[in-house]
Amino acid sequence: EVYRADDTRLKRPVALKRLSPNLREDRQYRQRLLKEAERTSALNHLNIASMYDVLEEKGELFLVMEYVEGQTLRQRLEKPLNLKEFLPLVVQCAEALVAAHEKGIVHRDLKPENVMVDQNGNVKVMDFGIARSVEAGTTSTGAFIGTPAYMAPEQAEGKPVDRRADIYSFGLVLYEMFTGVPAFSGDTPLSVALKHIRETPPPPSQHDPTVPAPVERVILRCL
């Protein structure tokens, strides 16, 4: 659960994140929340939402984070955007990933819902809740963590992931930004995940002939 709150000491709005009621007694999710705070606090970058503090009150953990006034990229995609509007968002998102990767952190759940765009067009990548250190590897084989529509094939198979998984997810986000449709769709999360493993998406220009050739090359390179 994420709330908009007021920091009464520093006189600023903040985002306050807590575990939902059904997860508050779950030690694994509690550790995940703490790890998110730890990793995000190490990422000092203009295009990554800042972590301010971790509070513990009556056995509950709260993450105090930068509040971003604006829309998610998903909301922005509901209205048509031209190339000049898209490219700055794309570049900023890429720079956020570079900053995380330079710290050895893989996001593992990049998607339009986790990218905020403020009122000035500045991008903030958020929610490093399932991010992992590259050195830490991954969960045991078979673990299914992430969002199937934006999940790299090795991630869908529960294999160890590195920076390339984020690059693949970034390519899927770009694909949807420029075509208006996801690269893969299906009736169930599992069917979508299997398509990432078994299939190659059609070139974006098949959906929209106006997609510039250099942009298409970048998208296909990511994928």
pLDDT on residue 139: 41
d(CA 169, CA 115): 12
Q: How far apart are CA 102 and CA 152, in angstroms?
A: 20
The predicted pLDDT at position 138 comes to: 42
Specify the pLDDT at position 141: 39
Residue indicated by tokens 């992931």 = 161
Estimate to the nearest angstrom the gap between the alpha carbon of 148 and the chain centroid: 12
What does the alpha-carbon distance between residue 220 and residue 217 come to, in Å, rounded to a whole number?
A: 5
Name the residue type at position 90. Answer: V
**CB-CB neighbours of 46 under 10 Å:** 12
The CB-side HSE value for 185 (13 A sphere, CA atoms) comes to 5
Q: Which residues contact 31 (CB under 8 A, 6 or more apart)?
A: none
Instruction: Provide DSSP, 9-31.
Output: TTTEEEEEEE--GGGTT-HHHHH
Tokens 């994928």: give the residue.
223
Per-residue pLDDT of the chain (223 residues; tens, 9 = 90+): 889 999 999 999 999 988 777 777 777 877 877 877 887 888 889 999 998 988 888 878 888 999 999 999 999 988 877 888 889 999 999 999 999 999 988 998 899 999 999 989 999 999 875 555 444 444 433 444 567 889 999 988 889 889 999 999 999 999 999 999 999 988 888 899 999 999 999 999 999 999 999 999 999 999 9
Catalytic residues: 109
User: Residue 146: its pLDDT value, please?
Assistant: 60
Task: State the pTM of this model.
Answer: 0.85
**Residue 120 contacts residue 64 (beta carbons within 8 Å):** no
Predicted local confidence at residue 23, as pLDDT: 72
* Distance, CA of 90 to CA of 87 (rounded, Å): 5
Query: Which residues make Cβ contacts (< 8 Å) with residue 118, sequence separation at least 6?
Result: 68, 69, 70, 124
